[in-house]
Structure 1
Amino acid sequence: MRKFWGCLLVFLLCWGGWVDRAAGYTPAWQAARPESPAGIQAVAAGTDGRPGRVVIITVNRLRLNDLKPDRLPGFNRLLAHGAAALLNVNTAGSITPDNSAATLGAGAHLKAEGSGSTAFQAREKVDGASAGAVYAQRTGKTVPDRAAVQLDINEVLQQNRLLPYANQPGALGQAVHKQGGLTAVMGNSDWGTSLQRSAVNLAMDEQGVVDYGLIGRECLRPDPFFPGGYRTDYRYIMQQYRALPEQVRLVVIDAGDLSRLYEQARYLDLQRYQVLKQQAVQELDAFLAEMAGALRRSDLLLLVVPAPGEEGGRRDYLTPLLAYGAGVKPGWLSSPTTKRPGLVMSTDIAPTLLAFWGQEPVPGMTGRAMQLLPGGMDYFRLQQMYGQIALVYDARWPLLQTYAVFQVLLLLVTVGLIIFKWHRQEYIKPFLLAVMAVPLAFLLAGLLPQPHLPALAGEVLLITLLLTGLSMFMQRYHLLAPFLVICLLTALGILLDTWQGGRLQGVSVFSYDPVVGARFYGIGNEYMGVLLGALIAGSGAVLSVAAAAAPAWQAAMRLLCLPAFGLALYTLAAPGLGTNVGGTIAALISLPLTLLLYFRVRMNWRVILALALLAGLFLGGFILYDISRPVAQQSHIGRAAGEVLAGGMGAFWQIVQRKTEVNIRLIKYTIWSRVFIASLGSLCLLFYRPVGVMKKIQLKYPQLFAAFAGVTAASIGALIFNDSGIVAAATAMIYAAPPMLYLILSERS
C-alpha cells in the first residue's frame, strides 16, 4: 500500500514537468496571472494640451484567434505598442450586439433588445417619413439631418427602469455633451434587409441622439461576391472621419463585415466562409493601421468586441480589448472592478473614457476606470489566459455537479447503513474523508498545468486520493487525526493563497468564475464556507487530540485558537484580502460562538449583546476604512457603502433586494441546496437514530462536538447574509456532516 501512495506522489510531481515539455503549458496560476513590472498608471491623455478624442472601433464576432500578429501588421502595431485585456461582455440580458453596446455606453449592465434595427440617420426614410420626423413625433424634440437617432429610446429607457439598480442609458454620450463635446457614429452591420446599427447605443446621449451619423447604405460598398452584396467601405469612412469637426470627442466606428458573415454563415460552405473571413480581417487590419496613423498625440483608440464570436458550435466567453494612443504604454489593462491583470468588464470602458477627459464617473455607472500595468503582455500569454479562464468555466459544471451529487448520495447511503446496521461499514469511511479533501484538491490543482478538462479532472482525483491516503495513514496515531490533517491543511492553504494574492483560487473551479463575473478577487463563497468549516472543525479536532494527551496541552491549544480565528476573520474582512462581507458576518457569528463553547462560557442575553456590538464595530471599522480610500482602490464593500450613503435607504433596499433575488434563484436551481439539505438533514436524523449515539460522541469528544455546532452556525450565517449564501452554507457543512458520520461509523465498529 505504501508503494502505491509513493508512486502516486511521484506521478503528480512529474506530471507538471512532462506536460510543460510536451505541450508548452505552464502551471495554471502562472498562465492566468501575468507578471508585470510594478507601477500602475491610469489610462490618460492630454499630451499636446488639447482635449483628446476617443475612437472606438467595434468589431462584433471578432475572435482572439483571428488576431495573428505575424500576419496582420495593423493588429501587430496595436499589440506591440498598446495595452490589451480580455473583456467580460455580460449584460442585463442576453449577450447581443444591442445589449452589449448599451452596456458599454452606460457603464452598467443594461438591456436594449431589438434596438439595433431602430437606429437611423435623421435624413433616412422610415415608413415614408424621415427618421428625424418620426423621432420628433415620439419625443417632441427636433434634430439636424446630420444626426443619428435611436427611435426606440423610450422603450430602451423603460426596459432598464425595471432593473433592480440605478442606471442611465446613454450616460457616456450625455457626459460628452455636458462638457461641450460632440459625438459621431459611422458604419453598420446591416445584412440583406436586416438592419443592425447597435453602435448608436454606445455613442448616444440620454435622449437617443448622436450628433454626427453615418450609418446608412452610403458607408457600404457593393461587392457581389460577399454575402448580402455589400462590404464596409473603409475608404469612405476614413474620408468622413478626417472631415469631422474638432469638437467631436467620441467617435464610434462599426466595422460590420465579420458580423455580416456571422449572421449568414449557415448559408456558406465552410471553406468559403473561412476565405471570406480572412479577407474581412485583413481589410480591418489595413483600416486599423491607417486609423492608428491618423491619430493625434492626444487621441485614444480602442478596439472593442461587444458581441463574442462563435465557430464550430462553440461561442467565445470573453472578447479581446486593445488600447492604443495617448497615455497607453505596452502592457496589460486591468481595473478596480476585477483587480486582475488582463481582465476588465465592459462596464469599465465608459468610466475609463470619462477619466481620460478628466471627468468623474456618472452616477449609476458600476464600472471603474481601467488601469495600465506596463510590460509583460504578449499575444501568446493573452491566449493562455483565455484558455485557462475558459477551462474553469467549462469544468465548473461537470466537476462540481459530480462532486455535489456524489456527496449527497454518500450522505444518504451512509445514514442508511448506520440506521440499518450494515456490518461492512468500514468500507465507507475513506469516501467520507475523500469528500472532505476535494476542496483542497481543487485548490492545489492550480499548481499543475491544465491543458484540458480530462487532465484537470485527473489531477483533482489523484490529489484527492493522495490526501485521503495521508489522512488514513495518520489514523494510526489517533482516531481524529484524519480530520486534523485535512481540515488544517485546507484552512492553511486558503489563508496562505489569499495572502499571496489568491492566485490558486483565481484558477480553481471551486472558486469564482470570471466568465459569469459575479466576483473576480478575494475569497469566493465556495472557499469562504470551506475556510470557516475547515478551521472550526480542525480546531475542534486539535483540542480533542490535545485533551487525550494532557489537559495542559488542551489549554494551550485553546488559547492558540484566539489568534488563529482572528487571522481568519481579518483575512475574510480586509479589503485587500478576502473582501467578503457575508463571510465576515458569518465568521463574526460562528467564530466567537465556537470560542465560547470551547471555554464553556454560559450563553445569556448579555453575552449575545456584547458579541453583536463587537461584531458591528468590527465590520463598521472595515467599511469606514474601505470607503475612505480613493474610489479606484475601493473593493465592492466600499462601493456598496458609497451607494447607500449617496442613495439613502432606497439604495440599501435595492442592494438587499438584488442579493435576496440571487439567493432565492440559487436555492431553487443549484445542486448545492441539495447538499445543504442532505447535510443538515443527516445530522438532525442522527440525533434520534440510532438512539444515544450522538450523546455518546458529545461526551467522548465535547470540543469536537462544540466545533460541529460552530460549523453549523457558520453555515446558517453564510446562508442568511450572503447573496449566494446557499453555496457557502453547503461547503461549510462538508466539515460537519461527513466527520460526524465518520465518528459514528468508528463508534459502531
Structure 2
Amino acid sequence: MSPSRRLGSRRERRTATGTLPGGRLCALLLAVTVLLCTAPASAGQADSPGSDRNGTNVGLPEGPSDGPVVLVGVPGLLWEDVTPEHTPALWEMAEAGAIGNVSIRTATSRTCPTDGWLSVSAGQRALSERERFTVCEPAPEPVVDGSGATVPGFSDFAEQNARSVFAAPVGLLGQAVRDRGGLTLAAGPGAALGAADASGRVDHYVDSARDLSAERLRGVSLAVVEMPELTSLYPADTDSGEDGPKEADPEDVPEQVREDTLETLDSRLAALVRTLPDGATLMVLGVSMDTGPSQLTVALTGRAVGDGLAGPAAYLASESTRRPGLVVLTDTTATVLDTLGADPGQPTGGRVWQTTDRPSPFEEAVVRLVDFNTAAIVVGASIPGFFSGLVAIQLLIYTAAAYAMHRYSWGERGKRAAVLSVTRVVALAGAAFPVASYLANLIPWWASQYPPLALLASVLAVDALVVALAVAGPWRRTILGPMTVVAGATTVVLFLDLCFGAHLQMNSPTGYSPIVAGRFYGIGNIAFATFATGMLMAVAGVSHALISRGRRRAAVVTTLLVGTASVLIIGWPGLGTDFGGVIALIPGLAVTTMMIAGIRITALRLAAVAVVSVTAISLLAWMDYLRPVEDRSHFGAFAEQVMNGDAGTVLARKLGAMLGTLGNWHLTLLAAGALVFLFAVLNRPGNWRIGALQRAYEYAPTLRAGLTGSLVTALVGFAANDSGVAIPALALTVAVPLTLSACVWALQQRERVPEEDPEGSHCVQEA
C-alpha cells in the first residue's frame, strides 16, 4: 500500500477530524518511584519509554557549517500533504533529514502568515493586528532600495509587539545576523518580515523563490524564503456583505487542485535545493496555516549535498516540548542563530532543535506525525462539547442526589436502600470521570470514524471499570473504602503518567493540546487539580482506616510521605514542572496533615506554611536556574526574569489570564454548583436532625481533613495559576462526589445503627 494511500487524502482527513496511570509498603513504593522518575528526568529524558532524548543539536558531526542557513516558510504545509506521489522531492528530503511537527501558536490562537513570520523574527510569540480576526491580511510589500529592501510600517509591528504580553522583540533575528557581520536575503514579503533587522531592512531582496540563484546566495548568511502557493488557494471572500470579508472554506477547493499546487510547490523547492552550495543548512517550516484553525505543520532540516539533503535521519525535538517529533515555532529562531553562531543578545522563547531516534521505516515515522496532528485536532474539536457534557452530568448528579436525599424518608426500607445505593454508585462514577478521561487515551479513539462518540464511549467504559473496582471488594462496606479506591486510582494514574512522560495528558480533553500550546510536558493545571484532590482524599481514606485501628502516628506518617512525594513530582523540573502547583498543594497538604494529627490550625501555623511554600518553590526555581540555559524549564526561566526585573510582565499576563477564566461559564457554573450542593444540601439538617455531611464526619473525621485540604488547595490554586477557575472547578468535580458517596453511606447506616449512638457502634460496623 502506498504511503499516500495510508495517510489518506487531505479532504478525507479533514472530514474525519472535523466531527473529530500495609502503609509501610505503600510509602516504600512511592519513595522508589520518585527516585526512579527523578533520575531520568534530571538527565533530560521526559519522553516516551525507549526514546532517546540525549539529543544533539541539528547539524553535521563536525559542527556548524560555513554555508548559509536557508529557511523556507510554507504556510499551511502539513505532513499529510507530503507523499511520494505528489511531493517526491520533499519526501526524499524528509527521508534523509530530521523531521517533526511544529506547533505554530503565536500571541493569538489564530496564526496567520504575518503572525508566523513576526514570531520567527522575534523569537517570541508575536502578532500582527488585523481588522478582522478571522481573515488573514497579507504582509506589506517591501520598498526596494538597490539590492536590499525595507518593510514599510515595520516600526509599527515592533511597537505593538513590544507592548504585548509577550514583549516580542520583532527584528531580533535579522539584527543578530547583522551584528555578527552577516548578510540577510529575503524572497517574498513574508520572508522580509522574518529576516528584517531592527530597522526593518534586509540586505538583499527578491520577489519570490523563482528569482533565487546560486549567485544571489553567495556571501549571504541567512536566506529566508516564502513559498505561499498553498495560501493562494484560499483567498478571502471580498464580496461577503455587511460583515466584511470572510475566510475561504477549505472544502471549496477541489482535492485535485490542491494536489496540483503541491506538485508545483515541490518542483520549486527541488529547484531551490539545486541552487544551494554544499554544506548549506536547509530548514523547511510550515510557518502558519493557509486557512482555517491552526494545526501542527511541517518541520524539516538537513545539510545540502549535491541535489539533495544529508541527515541526520531522525525526529526533531527541543527542550521547549521535550517530546520527540514536536517543536515550536519560536525554536526556529534559536536554531538559526545557533547554527550561525550568532548571539541573540537576549533570551528567546524557543530552544535549539535537537535530534532523536525516529521509527523505521520512514513511512511509519510520517504516519505517526500525521496521527499526532489528527489527535490534536480531534481533542480541540471535542473540548467544548466535552466540558459542556461534564457540567451537565455533574449538575444532574447533584440535582438527583439532592432530590433523593430530600425524599429520604419516603417509601419502604428496601426502596430507600436501593435509591441510596444507586446514588452512591453514581457519585463514584462522577468522581472517576476526570481520571477516566486520561485513561481513555490508552485507546486510540481519535482514529475512529466518529471521534467524539469514540471519546465519550472510551471515557464511560474506563469510568465503569474504576467504579466496578471501587465497589467490588470488601472495602465497599466501609464509609471511605470506595472513595479511597477512586481517589487512589486518580492519584496513581497521574503519578505514573508524570513518571513516564505525561502521555495520557497530551491530547486529552482534560490535559493539554500541542495546538493550544499552553504546556507540552509536566502536569497541566486541570490535571493538577484532579491529582491534588485525589491525593488528599486518598490519604484521608487511608488515615481513617489506620486511626480506626489506633494507629494515628502511622496515619500522619503516611500522609506526610505521600504528600511529600506528590509535591516533589509536581514541582520537580522535567516531571510535573508546575510552579503554581507547589504553592497550592503545600497549604492543602499541611491543613490535611494537621487535622489528621489532631493539631489545632492557627494563623501562626498557616503563616509558617506560607513561608515553606514560597521557600520550596524558590529553591526549585533556583536549582533549575543553575542548569544550562538549554536544559531549563520555565522554573529557571522565571528565576532569570526575576533577577533581570522582567517578572512583572509574566505575572501581569498570568493575572489577566486567571481573571479572564471567570468568563468561562462552563467551569464557573461547575464550581458554583458543587459548592452549593456541598454546603447547602449535604450540610443542611434534615429529618435525621443533622446534615448528611456532619453525620459522615462523625463516622469518619478524616473526611473533613481531606475535604478541607482540597478546598484550601483549590482556593490557592485559583489565585496562583493562570487557569483560574478551572482549578476549583475540577477539584470540586472530584471532591464533592467522593464526599457524597461517604454521606450516602452514613445515611445507609442510619437504617442499621441506633440513633442514640452514632459514634460508638459504627466503629464496630466498619471493623
Q: TM-score, normalised by structure 2?
A: 0.81
Question: How many residue pairs were aligned?
Answer: 662
Pick one of 425, 434, 458 that aligns with 2:429: 434
2:393 counterpart of 1:406 = yes
Q: Does the 8 A contact of 1:558 with 1:598 survive in 2?
A: yes
Match of 1:119 in 2: 140
1:196-242 deviations in whole A, cap 9, x for unaligned?
Answer: x3222111111111111112xxx5xxxxxxxxxxxxxx6x42xx331
CA distance in 2, matches of 1:547, 1:42: 55
One-letter code of the match for 1:710? Answer: G
* CA distance, structure 2, for counterparts of residue 569 and residue 53 of structure 1: 47
Aligned to 2:103: 88
Secondary structure of residue in 1 paired with 2:213? helix
Cα distance in 2 for residues equivalent to 1:209 and 1:594: 61
Q: Does 1:171 align with 2:172?
A: yes
Structure-to-structure mapping, 1:104-253, within 5 angstroms = 104-113=120-129, 117=138, 119-123=140-144, 144-187=145-188, 197-215=189-207, 219=208, 236-237=210-211, 240-244=212-216, 246-253=218-225
- SS of the aligned residue for 1:57 comes to strand
Distance 2:61 2:271 in 1: 22
Asked if 1:679 is matched to 2:674, the reply is yes
Alpha-carbon shift at residue 405 of structure 1 (Å)? 2.4
Residue 319 of structure 1: aligned partner: 297
Residue equivalent to 1:602:
600
Conservation of the 8 A alpha-carbon contact between 1:102 and 1:111: yes
Q: Which residue of 2 aligns with 1:518?
A: 518
Q: CA deviation at 1:272?
A: 8.1
Q: Equivalents in 1 of 2:728, 2:690: separation in Å? A: 27
Q: State the alpha-carbon separation in 2 of the partners of residues 517 and 292 from structure 1.
A: 32
What residue in structure 1 maps to residue 114 of structure 2?
98
**What is the 5 A alignment of 1:303-382?**
303-310=284-291, 315=293, 317-325=295-303, 328-363=311-346, 365-376=348-359, 378-382=365-369
1:322 partner SS: strand
Task: Please report how far the alpha carbon of residue 656 of structure 1 lies from its aligned counterpart in structure 2 after TM superposition.
Answer: 1.6
Q: Distance in 1 between matches of 2:288 and 2:614?
A: 44
Partner of 1:707: 706
Instruction: Tell me the distance in 2 between the aligned counterparts of 1:507 and 1:89.
Output: 16
1:59–1:303 contact (8 Å) kept in structure 2:
yes
Using the alignment, how far apart are the partners of 1:264 and 1:596 within structure 2?
Answer: 62
- Equivalent residue for 2:82? 67
Report how far residue 49 of structure 1 moved.
Answer: 7.6
Output the CA distance in 1 between the equivalents of 2:345 and 2:385. Answer: 41
Q: Aligned equivalents of 2:138 and 2:543: distance in 1?
A: 68
Task: Map 1:255-270 to 2 at 5 A.
Answer: 255-263=227-235
Partner Cα distance (2:259, 2:601) in 1: 72
Residue 231 of structure 2 aligns with an amino acid whose one-letter code is S
Asked if the contact 1:121–1:214 (Cα under 8 Å) also holds between the matched residues in 2, the reply is: no
Q: Distance in 2 between matches of 1:705 and 1:564?
A: 18
> Are the aligned partners of 1:300 and 1:324 in contact in 2 as well (CA < 8 Å)?
yes
**In the alignment, which of 586, 589, 598 is matched to residue 591 of structure 1?**
589
CA shift at 1:551, angstroms? 1.1
1-structure distance, mates of 2:530, 2:574: 20
Partners of 1:492 and 1:587 lie apart in 2 by 17
Displacement of 1:325: 1.2
Distance (Å, rounded) in 2 between the aligned partners of 1:400 and 1:432: 18
Distance 1:733 1:372, change over 3 A: same
Q: Quick one: structure 1 residues 480 and 150, their matched pair in 2 at CA, closer, same or farther if it must change by over 3 Å?
A: same
Cα distance 1:645–1:271, how it changes in 2: closer, same or farther (>3 A)? closer
Residue 273 of structure 1 and its aligned partner are, at CA, apart by 4.1
* 8 Å Cα contact 1:533/1:734 also seen in 2: no
Alignment match, 2:649:
654
Report how far residue 501 of structure 1 moved.
1.7
Partner residue of 1:630 out of 624, 628, 631: 628
- Structure 2 CA distance for aligned equivalents of residues 274 and 321 of structure 1: 23
**SS of aligned partner of 2:393:** helix
Instruction: Point out the more displaced range, 571-580 or 301-310.
Output: 301-310
Q: Which moved more, 1:440-449 or 1:458-467?
A: 440-449
Which range moved further: 726-735 or 428-437? 726-735
Tell me if the contact between 1:48 and 1:297 (Cα under 8 Å) persists in the aligned partners.
no
How far does residue 89 in structure 1 lie from its aligned partner after superposition? 1.4
Secondary structure, aligned partner of 1:263: coil
| Separation in structure 1 between the aligned mates of residue 53 and residue 606 of structure 2, nearest angstrom | 46
Assess if the C-alpha contact under 8 Å between 1:295 and 1:325 holds in 2. Answer: no
| Deviation string, structure 1 residues 128-181 (Cα, Å, up to 9, x no partner) | xxxxxxxxxxxxxxxx32222211113212322331232211111111111111
SS state at 1:671 partner: helix
* Residue 440 (structure 2) aligns with: 445
2:137, 2:620 → 1: CA distance? 44
Quote the sequence identity (%): 24
* Paired letter, 1:578: G
How far apart are 1:299 and its partner, in Å?
1.4
2:377 is aligned to 390
**Per-residue deviation at 1:494?**
0.9
One-letter identity of the residue aligned with 2:589: L
Pair 1:601–1:374, CA change in 2 (3 A):
same
**1:246-266 per-position Cα deviation (integer Å, ceiling 9, x unaligned):** 331111222222222222799
Structure 1 position 476, deviation (Å)? 4.1
Question: Is contact 1:34-1:341 (8 Å) kept?
Answer: no
Deviation, structure 1 residue 56? 1.5
Query: Does the aligned pair in 2 maintain the 1:122–1:146 contact within 8 Å?
Result: no
Task: Please give the secondary structure, in 2, of the residue aligned with 1:253.
Answer: strand
What residue is the counterpart of 1:545 in the other structure?
Answer: 545
Q: Structure 2: where are the runs of 5+ without partners? A: 1-20, 22-46, 131-135, 238-246, 305-309, 411-415, 749-767
159-168 vs 43-52, which moves further: 43-52
Letter in 1 for 2:630: A
1:30-89 Cα deviation digits (max 9, x unpaired): xx9596445300124695986331112222233322210355331122111111111111
Query: Aligned equivalents of 2:606 and 2:254: distance in 1?
Result: 69
Query: How big is the alpha-carbon RMSD for the aligned residues of Structure 1 and Structure 2?
Result: 2.7
Comparing 460-469 and 392-401, the one that deviates more: 392-401
Counterpart of 1:455?
454
Structure 1 partner of 2:495: 495
* CA displacement at 1:347 relative to structure 2: 1.1
SS of corresponding position for 2:124: coil
String of CA shifts for 1:335-377, please: whole Å, max 9, x gaps. 1111111111111111111111123444262122221114436
Deviation at 1:102, TM superposition (A): 0.8
3-state SS of 1:257 partner: coil
Q: Distance in 2 between matches of 1:341 and 1:304?
A: 17
Instruction: Output one character per residue of 1:109-145: Cα deviation in whole Å (capped at 9) or x when no partner.
Output: 112235965633434xxxxxxxxxxxxxxxxxxxx32
Structure 1 544/329 Cα, relative in aligned 2: closer, same or farther at 3 Å? same
Q: Which residue of 2 aligns with 1:692?
A: 690
Question: Which of the numbers 612, 625, 632 marks the counterpart of 2:610?
Answer: 612
Letter matched to residue 198 of structure 2: E
> Residue 608 of structure 1: CA displacement?
2.9
Instruction: Using structure 1 for the length normalisation, give the TM-score.
Output: 0.83
Tell me which amino acid in the other structure corresponds to 2:716. Answer: G
Q: 2:536 maps to what in 1?
A: 536
- Where in structure 2 are the equivalents of 1:293-304 lying within 5 Å? 293-304=274-285
Change (3 A) 1:206 1:305: same
Secondary structure, counterpart of 1:198 in structure 2: helix
Change (3 A) 1:52 1:680: farther
